Structure 1
Amino acid sequence: MTAQADPGADPYVLPLPRPEGPVVLAKWISPGNRHPNSHYQDAFWALGPLIDNPASTRCRIFWRNCPPPLQGQLKLIAWTMINGELRPTYLHDRGVQARARTSAGDMYSTCNEWMRLARWLHQSGVTDLGDCTTERWRSFIGERLAGLSRTTAVIVCGRLTDLWAFDQLSAAPTGIAPPPWQSEGVDDFLPAADGGHVENTTEPLDPQVLGPLLTWSIRFVDDFADDILTAFAERRRLIDLAAAGKATTTTWAALEDLLLPMLRDAKALPASTGKHKASLSRQYLAARTGASVGQIARFALQHNLTALGVVFKGQIQSRIEAMVTVAW
């Protein structure tokens, strides 16, 4: 451990805590919080004084999970995290989501991550965090991130970096080396990304493929823009007419005059698609006949039109095939 820093010279460096002193300083405890505060020398630290939400889990940091030779150093860094704030210059390099202080739950998870490192170092014969060199960081992170998703690995690296950052803010810094990803960038240390994570692993399209696609896209807009806008306006008109439909004997007769001849002649019925399934287009029929959507549903049930879905599908499929034939 290096010499003690002068807390008065740096507002972000906290003075050394007393063994009988509180784990959570009074400035961070809300007036209405009645959770008991632990003492620095205790075997476990309750983080309840930082938690005001009664539905949140009141977590505790158990120091028995940290090897005794490294326990004192890690305790001081953890106390500094609980009661201190990261420097703005450090946060600036970590993105817009970085915070000077995190939640009690995140502090708990971060301490557990630090203890995992401490156990690994102890098994390697290290009894001082100052002996955690860049080479040891590389060895540990290679084992730690094995089998993790890229998202989880990013979180782990961030918490381990905080160990170095908060050590610099303690009154007696250990001098632990900064993790190599702090200066080299974290990407080379992370697992390879898959299709559901940050990096895009899709092979780029060949220009010989992309060129014709772009040409046809431009041609589609140029050739069909007027028709698309006209169809959109017509769709809005039909929707408004359908919304105004009412169930009367006249509209029932209009449905019979429109649909029954189609059924007798086995013609395709007006159809629409939704969730990859064709069905009777009730809005279109409501706009054509003035009937309400509910009346059309009763008409379809009475004449068993729901069993004729194959007729709708055949109509739509034939129209699609015709459109493709014309386009090419």
Structure 2
Amino acid sequence: MSAPSPARPHPILPRADTPAIVPERVVDGYSGPVAAYGAAVWPLEPLIANPGADRRSVHWAGFPPRSREEFRLIAWVMINQALPDWFLVGRSAWHSRIGASVLYATVLEWRNLAYWLDGRGDGGLATCTPTVMSQYARHLAARPGASRSMMTKTLSALTRLCAFDTISPAPLGLGLPPWDREGIDDHLPVQASRGENTTEPIAPATMGPLLVWALRMVDDFADDILKAWQESNRLTARATTNPATPASKAALKRYLEDLTSRGAPVPSRQMLGKTLICARYVAAVTGCSPVQINALASTQRWQNLGEYVRRHPGPCPLAVPITGRVEGTPWTTALDYTEAGTLMRHLGTACFIVIAYLTGMRPGEVMALRTGCCPDPPSGRHLIHGRVFKGSSDEEGNHNSAGELRDVPWVAIPPVVAAVRVLERMVPTGGLLFDSAAHTFQHVRTSDGTSLGYEGLRARTDDFVHWASATARQLGRPHEQIPDDPHGGIAVARFRRSLAWHIARRPGGLVALAIQYGHLRTSISAGYASRSRDGIHELLDIETARATADTLTTLNEDLAGGTGISGPAARRAVQAAAHSPAFAGSIRTPRQARDILDNPALAVYDNPHSLLMCVYQRDRALCHRTVPTDSPSLDRCQPACANIARTDDHAHQLLRRATSLDEQARSQAVPGPLSERLSRRAARLRAQAHDHARDRTTLQESTP
């Protein structure tokens, strides 16, 4: 690129009391404080309108003293000024301004440079010539594990540093870095092999029971929990307003004397590892003031009350009937005053899981939903109206922190509608469904217009997993415990990827049967039909193509190892499997996915529920008798269909399932008619396995 054109510098150097963020840059609706230029910390919240975005702050104490003020000045320019026009010429991917999250990440990259310069003993940022920049880039590229994508972001941050220096009130004359003139590729580490998307889907063994417990919370337990929270708040309000009178003191004494004389437990709570009397609950029950309880415990007569409570801790039951059931069994014996807030926290987490997983929304889009976003329609489907943030830009093409209303609402299936209705009972009317103040459930907080953060939700999800597994054990349902995911913690961004994965793979078991995911795919896709930038179609295509590739790769390997195959579509399955080496492990883009999905010769779908493979051809499919489609309905597989193929593994599974059905049929607990149906089903499965053994062919035999 040619040398930069002269840029008009900012005419006035900021003073210590100059706002770090000038008024014109503060987002509409923000009324909080703005840090001064000379402050040790610059909160970036005045730049953020997205309620679900992280609130970051720049801490200047983290910069080396010798270069701190140089970086502070350029950061101030970056926040408050746009990149110069001359710089943007020919840079279609660059914007004149960046959002708060990228701004924060950029300053962190500058801090890394500052410490590298300081470690060399350089005099400060002014010594960072283009040659020094080139040395720093080589230093970064040589680090173990350095990736090209991360290095590209780092070098872009350094380019931004040099560009904003040109319009600084006191420019250092850094000049543009060498990669801006020579091209960036030579300054990046060697391209490493790329695997699949690093955001791993949640494993079916984990997602299945997690979704089961989240739906139970929303559908079966929510009424009990909300009533318990209401009763808990009523007792708290009563306790805090009870007057301290001689009569109430006498009532407290009678209450405690009755319990201690009988050796009965005293309502208690846990605090900082200690068991203490639950003063507010006791105050609400007896009509005394909590102050009277503390005063009474300090008298000689009751000086051992604390020790008695530790030896005789008791519950704080709420007068709330248990209506929720798990297959006919009450989900808990009683609801406790001390656990009402925790249960509300778990209920909010369950609502997030249901909405995030069953809509395909991005986490930030879920966090921005408000009450009233899903009105009851006069007829037809429920729709969710909300804001989108990815790709949202202002009239100048820069990122719009406030997002924009989605012109095509999301489609909400019934479980999602139920979750929204529960949340609307938890937060103030007109507020965010996941308002951070409303979701504390501990004390009254004034809403600051922000929603729960991603890390906070991840911690809440971990807590919900532990609670659900403990509840499963208490109810004698150890098979419904939620196992750890093999890829680690359940980050909120993984739900969207998991939805696409599960729809494409349609696993059975605890997650859902194929019919449920087939219907869900229709609903989700309908909600995104005219908005390709939302990416759910692309995710579904990529995951479906990967599932097809995995099926063909496994089949090709099995056939090469001598596995037999049978069925009217066996030859077509063998021919499709022969193409698997051409694309296995290489599906990363929508275009690559469409190359597979648009090729009818590769349309092979494994159906573990029916123990077969569908080698789909529209004109032969019995699952679509009237309206042929581009994909099968795996929940409606017909035994006589010409698209069926089976391998030796399918046949072995047929025999195992038949044996299991026979064992059920012989059980004395099974009624006679049901036993006969199970036996007939087992006989049909054995006949299918026999047909496979009779007709099976191997790769060598099926090749012309």
Classify the TM-score, shorter chain. 0.5 to 0.7
Aligned residues: 245
Give the counterpart of 1:153 among 146, 151, 154: 151
The 8 Å contact of residues 167 and 175 in structure 1, kept in 2 or not, is answered as: yes
Paired residue for 1:184, among 175, 182, 186? 182
CA distance in 2, matches of 1:59, 1:274: 56
Does the residue aligned with 2:69 lie in a helix, a strand or coil?
helix
Matched, 1:55 2:52: yes
Matched, 1:104 2:105: no
Q: Give a deviation string over 1:286-318, Cα, whole Å, max 9, x none.
A: xxxxxxxxxxx9998252416844744874645
What pairs up with 1:7-156 in 2 under 5 angstroms? 13=10, 15-94=12-91, 96-145=92-141, 146-147=143-144, 148-156=146-154
- Whether the 8 Å CA contact 2:9–2:166 is kept in 1: the answer is no
Q: Distance in 1 between matches of 2:120 and 2:97?
A: 32
Moved more, 78-87 or 169-178: 169-178
Q: Is the 8 A contact 1:278 1:313 kept in 2?
A: no
Give 1:305's match in structure 2, choosing from 685, 689, 704: 685
Are 1:130 and 1:175, in contact at CA under 8 Å, matched by a contact in 2?
A: yes
RMSD, aligned α-carbons? 3.7
Closer/same/farther in 2, CA of residues 272 and 300 from structure 1, 3 Å limit: farther
Give the whole-Å Cα distance in 1 for the aligned partners of 2:648 and 2:85. Answer: 53
SS at match of 1:193: coil
**Partners in 1 of 2:646 and 2:89 — Cα distance?**
48
Distance change >3 Å, CA 321–CA 99, structure 1 → 2: same
| Distance in 2, Cα, partners of 1:39 & 1:134 | 32
* Gap change, CA 1:149 and 1:276, over 3 Å in 2: farther
Match of 1:272 in 2: 644
Asked if structure 2 preserves the Cα contact closer than 8 Å seen for 1:60 and 1:108, the reply is: yes
Cα pair distance change 1:28/1:298, threshold 3 Å: farther
| Structure 1 contact 61–108 (Cα < 8 Å) conserved | yes
SS at match of 2:42: strand
Partners in 2 of 1:170 and 1:313 — Cα distance?
Answer: 80
* 3-state SS of paired residue (2:192): coil
SS in 2 for 1:41: coil
TM-score normalized with structure 2 length: 0.31
Pairs within 5 Å for 1:212-291: 232=617, 234-235=619-620, 238-241=622-625, 272-273=644-645, 278=650
| 8 Å Cα contact 1:15/1:170 also seen in 2 | no
In the alignment, the residues of structure 2 paired with residue 233 and residue 67 of structure 1 have an alpha-carbon distance, to the nearest angstrom, of 68
Instruction: In structure 2, give the amino acid aligned to 1:106.
Output: V
From 190, 193, 199, the counterpart of 2:191:
193
- What residue is the counterpart of 1:173 in the other structure? 171
Are positions 1:324 and 2:703 aligned together? Answer: yes
Cα distance in structure 1, aligned partners of 2:58 and 2:166 = 22
Distance 1:133 1:11, change over 3 A: closer
Task: Tell me which protein shows more helix as a share of its residues.
Answer: 1
What's the offset of the Cα at 1:149? Answer: 1.1
Structure 2 stretches lacking a partner, 5+ long = 1-5, 196-600, 602-615, 629-637, 652-676
Q: Does the 8 A contact of 1:12 with 1:87 survive in 2?
A: no
**Paired residue for 1:290?**
none
Amino acid at match of 1:272: I
The DSSP-based 3-state class of the residue aligned with 1:303 is helix
CA distance in 1, matches of 2:119, 2:67: 12
Q: TM-score, normalised by structure 1?
A: 0.63
Q: Which amino acid aligns with 1:241?
A: R
Is the 1:69–1:127 Cα contact (8 Å) retained in structure 2? yes
Runs of at least 5 residues in structure 1 that lack an aligned partner in the other structure = 1-8, 198-226, 245-254, 260-268, 280-296
1:273 Cα deviation (Å)? 4.4
**Residues 107/273 of structure 1: CA separation in 2 closer, same or farther (3 Å cut):** farther
Q: Distance in 1 between matches of 2:701 and 2:31?
A: 74
Contact 1:44/1:63, CA 8 A, preserved across alignment: yes
SS for the counterpart of 1:61 is: strand
**Cα distance in 1, alignment partners of residues 10 and 128 from structure 2:** 22
- Compute the displacement of 1:44 (Å): 1.3
Measured after TM superposition, the shift of residue 162 of structure 1 is 0.7
Q: Contact between 2:8 and 2:167, CA under 8 Å: does it hold in 1?
A: no
Which range is displaced more, 124-133 or 173-182?
Answer: 124-133
Cα 1:307–1:123, aligned 2, differ >3 Å: closer, same or farther?
farther
CA drift of 1:158 comes to 0.6
